[in-house]
Structure 1
Amino acid sequence: MPRLPLSPIRTGGKAARISNQRLDVDGLSFEVHRSERRKTLQITVERSGELSIVAPLQAEHHQLIDFVQEKLVWIHTKIEEKSRLQQRAPIKEFVDGEGFLYLGKSYRLRLVDEQLVDLSLKNGRFCLRKMSAHRGREIFISWYTRRAQGWFEKQVAEQANRMGVEVEEVKVQDLGYRWGSFGTAGRVHFHWKAVLLPPRIAQYIVVHELAHGHHPDHSAGFWIKVEQHLPDWRWRKSWLAENGIQVEGI
């Protein structure tokens, strides 16, 4: 989708630049989403520090700029909070009583002397073979990856059929700061950490990525497609931006 040429807009003594998809104000760059159902403006600070703003279709450019400038202190505070949280994300210790997430729930760890597999989830606890505790992170990542593969394959099969998207492959791996991606030839990828999130939030990631099967960018059409299948996508997206950092510590 071609972008409109950027042009500087002077407001409050500061320059702002806006296109049909991005808004740059005071050195900050926002991805702009418009929705006919949206009545108010909303800013989201993603866990990676990326910024987005959701606006009603009729909102004027100067209204977006004014809104951002009013929220500059809040925005910079949130960016700093995200940075601190990423730096201080608690590193898990593989000892009795440590909590580990799976599909939004926290399960305590129990070290056991004998077990057929390195790690299992039973009776509301993760059970890790004591002699394997020194490889705890590697073992947990492997367990999460296997579980995520099955969970996302099922979700993608259900959602892709509803959304009219052809998927050739579902793959779970470490995607860095991305929760998922939709690649060429119908390949969709998910971060293994996404299986630590509550199911409704992980489902948003699925719908988000499958919507890219129709719209490769984050244009208005993309968000309309997301909204068709998840009318409450905004709170799920906001929850992910605010709370996704909690799965960083493993």
Structure 2
Amino acid sequence: MSTPVHQAIAALPVPGEWTWQVVVRPRRRTLGIEVADGGDILFAVPPDADPAAVAQAVRTRLPRLAREVRRRRTRPDEPVKELVGGTGFAYLGRRHRLKLLSSAEAGRVRLHRGWLELPRSRTVDEGARQIAQWYEACGTRWLSGRLPSYASRFATTVRRETAAAG
């Protein structure tokens, strides 16, 4: 869908390799520019936006947008944590170091005396899956205690899903 604002931005010297779109947001009062992690740009405009004013605002921001798009496109991927003793893991605002347990001590993933204890796994994927399941279980317990309060704030009811338990 081509709007007058879209046409006004397309007439600017926007680099051809940029991916961008214009979205009309009824509740917006000013121009909003969002650059996604991959470098895609979203121009959010109010319904009564003046195309010339939006184009001028974008024109003045092009150098800064170019830097941000370049930065977001060249950003390295998130580093993958290695499951070696001493690796730091965050939980409820604190850092806990990983402690790998031998098979004799093995049990389940848990926090114990400031350490995140993990039974030695046969594979890295299995260890990562165990930690992810631990985070999920802790998060579920944390959220279930707060869900009624959040539901009352939004005037809704909590629906228990049996499928989520598995």
TM tier, smaller: 0.5 to 0.7
Structure with max Cα Rg: 2
Note the 1:202-213 alignment, pairs <5 A: none
For 2:61, give the aligned amino acid: K
CA contact (8 A) 1:94 1:133 kept: no
Work out which of the residue numbers 150, 153, 158 in structure 1 matches 2:141: 150
- The yes-or-no answer on 1:7 pairing with 2:9 is no
- Number of residue equivalences: 153
CA contact (8 A) 2:8 2:51 kept: no
Kindly indicate which of the two structures has a greater share of residues assigned to strand. Answer: 1
For the structure 1 residues 157 and 7, does the alpha-carbon distance in structure 2 shift closer, same or farther, using more than 3 Å as the test?
same
* 1:130 corresponds to: 120
Work out which of the residue numbers 34, 40, 62 in structure 2 matches 1:44: 34
Q: Deviations over 1:191-215 (max 9, x none)?
A: xxxxxxxxxxxxxxxxxxxxxxxxx
CA contact (8 A) 1:149 1:170 kept: no
Greater relative contact order, per chain length (Cα 8 Å cut-off, separation 6+): 1
Q: Distance in 1 between matches of 2:136 and 2:122?
A: 18
For the structure 1 residues 81 and 163, does the alpha-carbon distance in structure 2 shift closer, same or farther, using more than 3 Å as the test?
same
Q: Distance in 1 between matches of 2:32 and 2:123?
A: 44
User: Which segments of 5 or more consecutive residues in structure 1 lack a partner in the other structure?
Assistant: 16-25, 174-250
Kindly indicate which of the two structures has a greater share of residues assigned to helix. Answer: 1
For 2:56, give the aligned amino acid: D
* 2:15 corresponds to: none
* 1:29 corresponds to: 21
For 1:145, give the aligned amino acid: E
CA-CA distance at 1:32 after TM superposition: 5.3
Q: Distance in 2 between matches of 1:57 and 1:7?
A: 10
CA-CA distance at 1:42 after TM superposition: 4.8
* 2:90 corresponds to: 101
* 1:222 corresponds to: none
* 2:56 corresponds to: 66
Q: Deviations over 1:134-182 (max 9, x none)?
A: 32211111112212222333444322211123442469x9xxxxxxxxx
Note the 1:56-205 alignment, pairs <5 A: 60-85=50-75, 87-113=76-102, 114-117=105-108, 119-131=109-121, 134=124, 135-169=126-160
CA-CA distance at 1:132 after TM superposition: 5.5
CA contact (8 A) 2:31 2:45 kept: yes
Percent of aligned pairs sharing the same letter:
24
For the structure 1 residues 90 and 158, does the alpha-carbon distance in structure 2 shift closer, same or farther, using more than 3 Å as the test?
same
CA-CA distance at 1:127 after TM superposition: 1.4
CA contact (8 A) 1:30 1:50 kept: no
Q: Distance in 2 between matches of 1:103 and 1:31?
A: 37
Deviates more, 1:45-54 or 1:99-108: 45-54
What TM-score results when the alignment is normalised by the length of structure 1? 0.47
For the structure 1 residues 78 and 162, does the alpha-carbon distance in structure 2 shift closer, same or farther, using more than 3 Å as the test?
same
